[in-house]
């Protein structure tokens, strides 16, 4: 699949000398969903704002479907839709008019069928004649998405689209993103919610202090860096771990009723069978056994901490 | 040129005007009617004619200019300041449009609104005084040029302003005094010589003089000078707007 977005050595410095972006390089294939994770102030929004033309880059090059964002800004921007982090909408305007305005602003002629399709898809059709200020917070976020989709972009930037929304609405948003992906729209989203990236992204990028620490396919990343934990619940609390089990480097839960064994899923042998045999040989009785995959959040925290160190 | 985008901005801005149509219209009409009652009927009845024109009629061009200038500035400054204030400016900055297209959309809408109100004021004046328009084409030309140039000026104020207080600052502290001292209610020739000289540094004098000439053929300064002055002011504002978008001053980080 061809690259729809190419970012080369993108830098952004502010007057005070603060470097918000320190030479970001990134290539994104058409049709994929990439999630950019990072703590506050990492440079996620600056990266999006620079690509979209809201912020001027200090140096570097960005191409959208081969169009430079500086030299061919009309062609480049017409392919991009942006859903900003803040809910920024004209409060007194009707929903349908604000979406029509966005379409016109991007040079697309009026198309009522297209507007209806977008509004229906986002469950906003019944609210089309309501003033924006009459809508709930969740509905306003949908209007932002409708505005970003009004000119039928090929690349959609979602800057923390589910920040501050309830779980149900977040799941709705994920469904919307999945629908857009099915239509071939490339989606770049920034998020604080690791579960969001885990649920919908094809690739994950981790950004901290203006640098892209890594970009990798989500499944590979989790397989490469993910660890699994086996929790063995005992029938009786255990004061000290028997010496015969020392080689497994077990940890104990707070109530001392369980021991936890961490193993690498990529290993040829996990050592689980031997561990269970040795536990039985040590005279311990089992109540239950469970496993847990380390999450993207654990990986994220590890990477950011390593970078800080 | 992205005409569709210009049209979209223009229609969106005009919709704001029509949403508050009565408020937009009634306020200037009432203010102007009060001016006619106070200056035209109450005080004007005690003032002799000015260069053969009754005082009530004489102040009409000044009143129209006063309204048109203040409306142009307030409409254009609010038009661009409001998206900055509520954050919707992101959409303008990320759209495939040039600075010229943004200016055409916003300034075009602000100038249209101001002209619309100016015409309403003019119609209102017919109910109070008997006036003739000696040079109707020149009158329209001056009206259009004033609306455009002051809308450009208002656009600059809207970009410069960081809060609503600043938005009101320039119109209140600079524009209104300049308009009042620019011969809206009197002829510059009625002032003592020193003040006549000082008034020549007030750009509004040239605009009101030209506009009044279009009505009565009376002029404080030659009409060609008035046209040059308004042309110079428009060019100055256009240059400032071009620089703003080139550098991203107060709109793009």
Query: Looking at the 3D structure of chain A, how many domains does it have?
Result: 2
Same domain, yes or no: A15 and A44: yes
pLDDT at B146 over 90: yes
Boundary residue ending a domain (A172, A203, A223)? A223
Whether the predicted pLDDT of B202 surpasses 80: yes
Residues A67-84, mean pLDDT to the nearest whole number: 94
Q: Which residue of B has its CA nearest to A53?
A: B94
Establish if A199 belongs to a structural domain: yes
Enumerate the residues of chain A whose CB falls inside 8 A of the CB of residue B91: 82, 102, 105, 147
Between β-strands A33-37 and A203-208, what pairing exists: parallel, antiparallel or unpaired?
Answer: parallel
Site from A18, A21, A103, A104 to mutate, B interface, most B CB atoms within 10 angstroms: A104
Using a CB–CB cutoff of 8 Å, tell me whether B135 touches chain A. no
Tens digit of each residue's pLDDT (9 = 90 or more) over A227-247: 788 999 999 888 889 988 988
**Within this chain, do residues A67 and A188 fall inside the same structural domain, yes or no?**
yes
Q: B2 and A75: CB-CB below 8 Å?
A: no
List the CATH number of the domain containing A259. Answer: 3.30.70
Suggest the residue from B90, B102, B248, B250 to mutate for an interface test with chain A (most A CBs closer than 10 A): B90
Report the CATH number at residue A211: 3.40.50.300
Please report the ipTM that was assigned to this predicted complex: 0.85
Closest CA to A122 of A73, A90, A85, A83: A83
Answer whether B26's CB lies under 8 Å from B125's CB.
no
Please tell me if residue B252 touches chain A, with a CB cutoff of 8 Å: yes
B231, pLDDT greater than 70: yes
Q: Are A236 and A265 members of one domain?
A: yes
Q: Which residues of A touch B252 (CB under 8 A)?
A: 54-56
Report yes or no on A303 lying in a domain.
no
CB contact under 8 A, B96 and A107: yes
Euclidean distance between CA atoms B224 and B191, whole angstroms: 22
Segments of chain A assigned E as strands: 3-13, 19-29, 33-37, 59-64, 67-68, 80-83, 155-159, 186-191, 203-208, 211-217, 227-234, 251-252, 258-264, 286-293
Q: In terms of domains, do A127 and A241 share one?
A: no
Identify the band that residue A307 occupies on the pLDDT scale cut at 50, 70 and 90. low
Indicate the angle between helix axes A167-182 and A137-149, nearest 10 degrees: 10
Instruction: Establish, for the pair of chains A and B, how many residue pairs have beta carbons separated by less than 8 Å.
Output: 84
| Best A65, A87, A93, A105 residue to mutate vs chain B (most B CBs within 10 Å) | A105
Residue B195 pLDDT > 80: yes
pLDDT greater than 90 at residue A150: yes
A255/chain B closest Cα distance in angstroms = 52
Instruction: Measure the CA–CA gap between B29 and B59, rounded to whole angstroms.
Output: 15
Question: SS3 of A162, please?
Answer: coil
- Judge whether B23 is closer than 8 Å to chain A, CB to CB: no
Contact B95 A106 (CB under 8 A): yes
Q: Which chain B residues are closer than 8 Å to A150 by Cβ?
A: none
Domain membership of residue A285 (yes or no) is yes
Q: What is the DSSP string of A62-89?
A: EEETTEETTTTHHHHHHTEEEE-SS---
What residues of chain A lie within 8 A of the CB of B82, using their CB? 90
User: Looking at residue A2, what is its pLDDT?
Assistant: 82
- Is pLDDT larger for residue A7 or for residue A223? A7
Domain containing residue A288: 227-293
What separation, in Å, do the N-terminal and C-terminal C-alpha atoms of chain A show? 37
| Same domain? A92 vs A173 | yes
Q: Is the pLDDT of residue B219 over 90?
A: no
Is A203 part of any domain? Answer: yes
Domain match, A211 and A255 both: no
- Whether the per-residue pLDDT at B127 is higher than 90: the answer is no
Where is average pLDDT lowest: A17-31, A100-114, A155-169, A291-305?
Answer: A291-305
User: In the prediction, which pLDDT does A271 show?
Assistant: 86
Residue given tokens 């690259």 in the structure block = A3
Segment B64-86, tens digit of pLDDT? 998 899 899 999 999 999 999 99
C-alpha span between A55 and A267 (Å, rounded)? 46
Whether chain A has a CB inside 8 Å of the CB on B123: the answer is no
Instruction: Based on the fold, state whether residues A242 and A207 are members of the same structural domain.
Output: no
Interface residues from chain A to B (CB-CB < 8 Å):
14, 49, 52-56, 73-78, 80, 82, 84, 86, 88-93, 97, 100-109, 147
Of B57, B71, B55, nearest to B125 by C-alpha is B57
Does one domain contain both A91 and A145? Answer: yes
The mean pLDDT of chain A is 88
B110 Cβ neighbours under 8 A, 6+ residues apart? B13, B72, B75, B76, B79, B147, B151, B154, B155
Q: What is the pLDDT of residues B7-58, one digit of tens each?
A: 999 999 999 888 888 877 888 888 888 888 887 777 777 777 777 888 888 8
- pTM comes to 0.82
The confidence score (pLDDT) of residue A153 equals 94
3-state secondary structure chain B: CCHHHHHHHHHHHHHHHHHCHHHHHHHHHHHHHHHHHHHHHHHHHHCCCECCECHHHHHHHHHHHHHHHHHHHHHHHHHHHHHHHHCCHHHHHHCCCCHHHHHHHHHHHHHHHHHHHHHHHHHHHHCCCCCCCCCHHHHHHHHHHHHHHHHHHHHHHHHHCCCHHHHHHHHHHHHHHHHHCCCCCCCHHHCCHHHHHHHCCCHHHHHHHHHHHHHHCCCCCCHHHHHHHHHHHHHHHHHHHHHHHHHCCCCCC
Q: Phi-psi region for residue A246, left (φ > 0), alpha (ψ -120 to 50) or beta?
A: alpha
Q: Which residues of B touch A92 (CB under 8 A)?
A: 16, 19
**Beta carbons of B252 and A55 less than 8 Å apart:** yes
pLDDT of residue A226: 65
Q: Residue A39 domain-assigned?
A: yes
Mean predicted confidence (pLDDT) in A60-66:
94
* pLDDT more than 70, % of chain A: 94
The average pLDDT across A169-173 equals: 81
| Banded pLDDT at A294 (limits 50, 70, 90) | low
Per the domain annotation, does A147 fall within a domain? yes
Q: Is the pLDDT of residue A182 over 70?
A: yes
Is pLDDT larger for residue B20 or for residue A88?
A88
Scanning the structure block, which residue is given the tokens 């009652």?
A: B37
Contact assignment for B252 to A54 by CB distance below 8 Å: yes
Burial of residue A6, with CB atoms counted within 10 A of its CB: 0-12 exposed, 13-18 middle, 19 or more buried: middle
Note whether residue A309 is domain-resident: no
User: What is the pLDDT at residue B10?
Assistant: 96
> Does one domain contain both A191 and A173?
yes
Instruction: Specify the pLDDT at position A25.
Output: 94
Q: Cα(B109)–Cα(B103) distance, rounded to whole angstroms?
A: 10
**A263 and A166 co-located in one domain:** no
**pLDDT surpassing 90 at residue A63:** yes
Residues B222 and A118: their CA atoms lie apart, in Å, by 58
Q: Based on the domain organization, do A274 and A144 belong to the same domain?
A: no
Q: A7 and A51 in contact (C-beta within 8 Å)?
A: yes
pLDDT of residue B46: 76
pLDDT tens for residues B93-117? 999 998 889 999 999 999 999 999 9
Substitution target from B96, B97, B104, B105 for chain A, most A beta carbons within 10 A? B96
Q: At residue A299, what are phi and psi to the nearest 5 degrees?
A: -65, -45
Q: What is the pLDDT of residue A308?
A: 66
Q: Is the pLDDT of residue B153 over 70?
A: yes
Contact check, Cβ <8 Å, A52/B16: no
Largest CA distance in chain A: 78
Q: Are residues A190 and A242 in the same domain?
A: no
Report d(CA B232, CA B115) in Å as an integer: 20
Nearest residue on chain A to B3, judged by CA atoms?
Answer: A107
What pLDDT does residue A46 have? 92
Q: Give yes or no for residue A309 having a pLDDT over 70.
A: no
A152 is a domain residue: yes
């Amino acid at each position: 699949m061809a690259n729809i977005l190419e970012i080369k050595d993108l830098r952004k410095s502010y007057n005070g000398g603060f470097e918000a972006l320190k030479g970001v390089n990134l290539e994104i294939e058409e049709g994929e969903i990439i999630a950019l994770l990072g703590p506050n102030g990492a440079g996620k929004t600056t990266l999006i704002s620079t690509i979209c033309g809201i912020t001027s880059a200090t140096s570097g090059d960005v191409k959208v479907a081969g169009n430079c964002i500086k030299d061919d800004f009309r062609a480049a921007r017409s392919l991009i839709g942006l859903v900003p982090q803040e809910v920024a909408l004209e409060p007194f305007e009707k929903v349908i008019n604000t979406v029509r305005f966005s379409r016109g602003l991007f040079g697309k002629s009026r198309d009522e069928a297209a507007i209806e399709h977008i509004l229906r898809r986002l469950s906003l059709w019944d609210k089309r004649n309501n003033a924006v200020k009459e809508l709930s917070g969740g509905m306003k976020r949908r209007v932002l998405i409708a505005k970003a989709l009004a000119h039928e972009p090929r690349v959609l930037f979602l800057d923390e689209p589910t920040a501050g929304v309830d779980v149900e609405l977040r799941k709705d948003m994920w469904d919307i993103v999945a629908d857009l992906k099915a239509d071939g729209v490339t989606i770049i989203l920034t998020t604080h919610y690791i579960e969001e990236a885990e649920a919908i992204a094809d690739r994950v990028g981790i950004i901290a202090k203006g640098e892209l620490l890594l970009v990798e396919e989500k499944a590979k990343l989790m397989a490469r860096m993910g660890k699994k934990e086996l929790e063995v619940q005992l029938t009786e609390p255990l004061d000290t771990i028997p010496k015969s089990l020392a080689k497994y480097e077990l940890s104990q839960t707070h109530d001392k009723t369980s021991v936890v064994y961490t193993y690498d899923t990529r290993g040829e042998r996990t050592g689980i069978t031997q561990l269970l045999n040795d536990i039985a040989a040590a005279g311990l009785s089992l109540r239950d056994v469970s496993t847990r995959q380390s999450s993207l959040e654990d990986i994220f925290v590890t990477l950011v901490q390593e970078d800080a160190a | 040129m992205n005409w569709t985008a210009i049209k979209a901005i223009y229609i969106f801005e005009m919709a704001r005007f029509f949403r508050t149509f009565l408020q937009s219209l009634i306020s200037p009409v009432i203010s102007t009617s009060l001016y006619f009652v106070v200056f035209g009927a109450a005080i004007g009845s005690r003032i002799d004619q000015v260069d053969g024109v009754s005082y009530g009629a004489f102040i009409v061009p000044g009143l129209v200019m006063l309204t048109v200038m203040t409306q142009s500035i307030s409409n254009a400054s609010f038009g661009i300041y409001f998206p900055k204030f509520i954050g919707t400016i992101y959409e303008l900055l990320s759209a495939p449009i040039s600075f010229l297209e943004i200016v055409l959309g916003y300034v075009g809408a602000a100038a249209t609104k101001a002209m619309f109100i100016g015409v309403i004021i003019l119609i209102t004046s017919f109910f109070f005084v008997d006036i003739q328009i000696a040079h109707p084409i020149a009158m329209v030309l001056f009206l259009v040029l004033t609306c455009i140039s002051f809308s450009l000026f208002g656009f600059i104020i809207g970009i410069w302003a960081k809060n609503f207080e600043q938005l009101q600052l320039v119109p209140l502290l600079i524009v209104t005094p300049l308009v009042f001292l620019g011969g809206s209610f009197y002829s510059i020739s009625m002032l003592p010589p020193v003040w006549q000289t000082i008034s020549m540094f007030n750009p509004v004098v040239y605009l009101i003089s030209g506009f009044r000439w279009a009505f009565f053929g009376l002029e404080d300064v030659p009409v060609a000078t008035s046209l040059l002055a308004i042309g110079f002011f428009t060019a100055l504002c256009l240059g400032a707007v071009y620089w703003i978008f080139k550098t991203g001053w107060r709109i793009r980080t």
